Amino acid sequence: MYRNQKLLEAVRESPCQHCGREDGTVVAAHSNQGRDGKGRSLKANDYRIAALCFTCHAELDQGRAMSREERLNRWEDAHRGTIGWLFENKVIGVL
């Protein structure tokens, strides 16, 4: 498992990658897919995260309005946005 607390903390500075909200509730929402390392009591690897505000994160994890495919697509879109934000803001880069 890859863990990086600094990366998780840095994501809190990002706007929500779904709704754009910057309200202090943005966190690193881990993938819920087994292919990303998610297990019964395990979170996915810390590089499989999406910057989501409390509302969007809760809707994705506990909401009932979306199908499984819609949830996956929403998370993947937010993940791509998060990785882009991390590079564009020089939080991560290539050495």
pLDDT at 37: 61
| H helical segments located in 1-95 | 5-11, 54-62, 68-88
Note whether 76 and 68 are within 8 A (CB): no
pLDDT at 33: 74
CA 22 – CA 3 distance, rounded (Å) = 25
pLDDT at 5: 96
CB neighbour class for 36 (10 Å; exposed up to 12, middle 13-18, buried from 19):
middle
Residues of the chain where predicted confidence (pLDDT) is lower than 70: 34-40
**How confident is the prediction for the chain on average, in pLDDT?**
91
pLDDT at 86: 97
Q: Model-level pTM?
A: 0.89
